[in-house]
Amino acid sequence: MWSLITGGILSLFSGVLGCRASRAIPETIGNDTTCIDAIMANVDAGAPPSEMDRSAAIATAPLPPITIRDADSLENAEYHDLTLNDAIRIALSNSEVLRDLGATVLRAPDQLATEQTLPLVQTDPQAGIESALSAFDAQLYALGKFQNNDRQFNNRFFGGGANSFKQDTHDYVFQTTKRTATGAELALRSITDYDANNATGNETPSAWQTQWHAELRQPLLRGGGLTFNRIGGPAALPGVYNGVLIAKTNNDISVAEFRRDARNYVSNVINAYWDLAYAYRDVDARADALERSRLTWRSYDAQKTSNRRGGSAEALAREQYYRFKSEYQDAVAGKLVGRTQVNNASSGGTFAGIGGVLATERRLRLLIGMPVSEGILLRPIDEPITAPIIFDTDSLTAEAVRMRAELQQQRLLIKRREMELLAAKNFLLPTLDLVSTYRVRGLGKHLTGSDSAFQELGDMDFQEYEAALEFRMPVGFRQAHAAVQNAKLQIARDRAVLNEQQRQIIHDLLSVIAETDRAFALAETSLNRYLAAKDALDALEANREAGLPISLEQLLDSQRRLSESQTRYYLAVTEYMVAIKNVQFETGTLLEHTQIMIAGG
């Protein structure tokens, strides 16, 4: 009998644990410390990079960067033409980590959103949906207890009719409990005990007794009902709620947060793309100005050599040439200064208007996950929009209120607060539980077979029933009242924040709509300015080539004006493109316009 019972227990445990759990036994509770010793040896050594890390670093080591020192760095470079859609596609293909331009990956890596962000929330063992559902999982319990007693009594009464008392006992308990959605706890329990002793009043020297219990505990007030248990869960306390609905809402809030982070990432990629597009146009304008100034300088240098002009004219032309050369070098190399990025003066980022092909190209590579330097320069080929766009403010405002991830997140938070208020009100009730137990007993010389405990149990001759009401109540309900008041204050605060968020978003939306009009108007004006400056310079050059006297200062000033107006036109056009993107950003439709869908959103 002993082998039968122990074999059943071992079979039950192996079935419950499964293969995966049994393989974990040597690593967690066994004496094999090989795994932890290897980990700690690495920790004690300062966690140096592994061979795999070093090999990966060597395999992905970038080429030396292209710099201003490389002769004709742009003229002879190899280019990879890139559309905006291509840049976004490459970025999303390489975006296990949603990068930003502020080196957050080094300063605060825990704040970065990654591909694992949503699965981490969903698999949180304390606050995830599966964690909340696990409170309603069936629980198995088993107990095997063995005892031998050998004692003497001064009084025969206490020794069962003998002064010397010897006894062997076995106790076996198997139980399954299950929490229901209404807060009830159901239990099915099997209790079997074996008792062999020398008491003189025994009918048989040993006997088996078995019982089957069916027990129900149903909260009638506090802790009862579908609403409370779906919100707070069976283990809820005032102010601490982790039911299925709370976990589901937290998951949805995380999806909204991830959608916001993805939108910011895509916005930064678009910003970096147009930064680089402007940098190329800026360097073209600087190159044109540099070539014009070089020809002017050579002309006046030749006149100085033939003694037809004084040295001052040649020096002024030479100064202008080197001035334009320095501007061209800056336009090629760029400086390590702030670029257009999210939350730079506006939510979607205000165009910085800072050129520099090489620095901006490396920034775009960083964002989209390409090698930072590979001897090939990325070159945007999308042409900016130069046609006016008229926006419907009313429909865009309604769309922003509906679509913005920040507002979705805050509205979900308010719904969670409202559910928490419902759960908090439950704690204003006293505890009143109905406890009901049904038992069937069997007693016999053997456990199974004839004249056995199981046979008598099957006959159902000995049945018992027990019912009780348990009542508990804190006098004053001080903690419960505080929880209700706190939940109401949280709702009031979050609603005030939501209203202010809506005002801020509407303000930002109207601002970027106005910015599109400003940038478009400025682009038209800058184009007219450029054409006028070009006409003025062409007239002066024509007079000079015709041998007519002209003012050198006027000629040099015309060249500067032409270069500045050309650059300003490219700047305004790029500002217009960024402003159009920012309208999509403010309405919360940037991901839809770039054909990106967040799974689970």
Q: Which pLDDT score is estimated for 348?
A: 83
Q: Which pLDDT score is estimated for 161?
A: 64
pLDDT band at residue 479 under the 50/70/90 scheme: very high
pLDDT band at residue 157 under the 50/70/90 scheme: low
3-state DSSP assignment of residue 599 = coil
3-state DSSP assignment of residue 477 = coil
pLDDT band at residue 168 under the 50/70/90 scheme: very high
Q: Which pLDDT score is estimated for 1?
A: 46
Q: Which pLDDT score is estimated for 483?
A: 95
> Residue 456 CB: number of other CB atoms within 10 A?
19
Residue in 319, 289, 282 with CA at minimum distance from that of residue 558: 289
Q: Which pLDDT score is estimated for 450?
A: 84
Q: Are 364 and 340 in contact (CB under 8 A)?
A: no
Residue in 172, 126, 162, 149 with CA at minimum distance from that of residue 6: 172
pLDDT tens profile 4-62: 444 454 454 445 555 555 566 666 676 777 777 777 888 887 778 777 666 655 556 56
* Residue labelled with tokens 């005030």: 496
Give the torsion sign (CA, 260, 263, 269, 274).
negative
pLDDT band at residue 547 under the 50/70/90 scheme: confident
User: CA–CA separation, 225 vs 223, rounded Å?
Assistant: 7
What rounded mean pLDDT belongs to the chain?
Answer: 86
Give the torsion sign (CA, 53, 55, 58, 61).
negative
Residue in 506, 261, 507 with CA at minimum distance from that of residue 401: 506
Q: Which residue has the higher pLDDT, 18 or 334?
A: 334
pLDDT tens profile 196-252: 988 877 888 899 999 999 999 999 999 999 999 999 998 899 999 999 999 999 999
CA 166 to chain centre: 66
Kind of pairing, strands 78-82 and 206-219?
A: unpaired
Q: Which amino acid is located at 226 in the chain?
A: L
> Residue 2 CB: number of other CB atoms within 10 A?
9
User: Distances from the Cα of 277 to the Cαs of 83, 349, 362, in angstroms?
Assistant: 10, 16, 13
User: Distances from the Cα of 213 to the Cαs of 12, 139, 174, 440, 464, in angstroms?
Assistant: 20, 16, 10, 7, 9
3-state DSSP assignment of residue 309 = coil
* DSSP-assigned letters across all residues of 178-215: EE-TTS-EEEEEEEEEEEEE--TT-SSSEEEEEEEEEE
pLDDT tens profile 353-409: 887 899 999 999 999 988 888 888 999 999 999 899 999 999 999 999 999 999 999
CA 16 to chain centre: 34
Q: Are 257 and 409 in contact (CB under 8 A)?
A: yes
Q: Are 175 and 214 in contact (CB under 8 A)?
A: no
User: CA–CA separation, 252 vs 408, rounded Å?
Assistant: 9
Q: Are 598 and 258 in contact (CB under 8 A)?
A: yes
* pLDDT of 156 over the 70 cut: no
Q: Which pLDDT score is estimated for 111?
A: 79
Q: Which amino acid is located at 459 in the chain?
A: D
User: CA–CA separation, 26 vs 24, rounded Å?
Assistant: 6
DSSP alpha helix (H) spans, 306-392? 311-333, 357-368
* pLDDT of 98 over the 90 cut: no
pLDDT band at residue 3 under the 50/70/90 scheme: very low
Q: Which pLDDT score is estimated for 302?
A: 80
SS (H, E, C) 531-580: HHHHHHHHHHHHHHHCCCCCCHHHHHHHHHHHHHHHHHHHHHHHHHHHHH
User: CA–CA separation, 419 vs 415, rounded Å?
Assistant: 6
List residues bridging with 186 in a β-sheet.
178, 216
User: CA–CA separation, 117 vs 132, rounded Å?
Assistant: 19
Q: Are 292 and 325 in contact (CB under 8 A)?
A: no
* pLDDT of 347 over the 70 cut: yes
Beta-strand ranges (E) seen in 453-526 are: 462-472
3-state DSSP assignment of residue 27 = helix
User: CA–CA separation, 299 vs 304, rounded Å?
Assistant: 9
Give the torsion sign (CA, 496, 498, 500, 503).
negative
List residues bridging with 79 in a β-sheet.
377
* Residue labelled with tokens 């149903």: 218
List residues bridging with 377 in a β-sheet.
79
Give the torsion sign (CA, 94, 96, 98, 101).
negative
Q: Which DSSP letter does residue 495 get?
A: H
Mean pLDDT confidence for 247-260: 92
- Count Cβ neighbours within 10 Å for each residue of 289-305 and write b for 16 or more, e otherwise: bbebbbebbebbbeebe
CA-based Rg of the chain, rounded to a whole angstrom?
Answer: 40
User: CA–CA separation, 99 vs 599, rounded Å?
Assistant: 19
CA 202 to chain centre: 70
User: Distances from the Cα of 509 to the Cαs of 14, 266, 516, 580, in angstroms?
Assistant: 62, 18, 11, 11
Q: Which DSSP letter does residue 175 get?
A: E
Mean pLDDT confidence for 540-556: 85
Mean pLDDT confidence for 455-467: 90
pLDDT tens profile 201-211: 788 889 999 99
Mean pLDDT confidence for 297-314: 75
* DSSP-assigned letters across all residues of 37-54: HHHHHHHHTT-PPPHHHH
* Residue labelled with tokens 């979900």: 412
Q: Name which of 153-162, 177-186, 482-491 the model is least confident about.
A: 153-162
Beta-strand ranges (E) seen in 200-285 are: 206-219
Best-predicted range by mean pLDDT among 18-27, 297-306, 522-531? 522-531
pLDDT band at residue 306 under the 50/70/90 scheme: low
For the chain, the farthest-separated pair of C-alpha atoms sits apart, in whole angstroms, at 144
Q: Which pLDDT score is estimated for 61?
A: 59
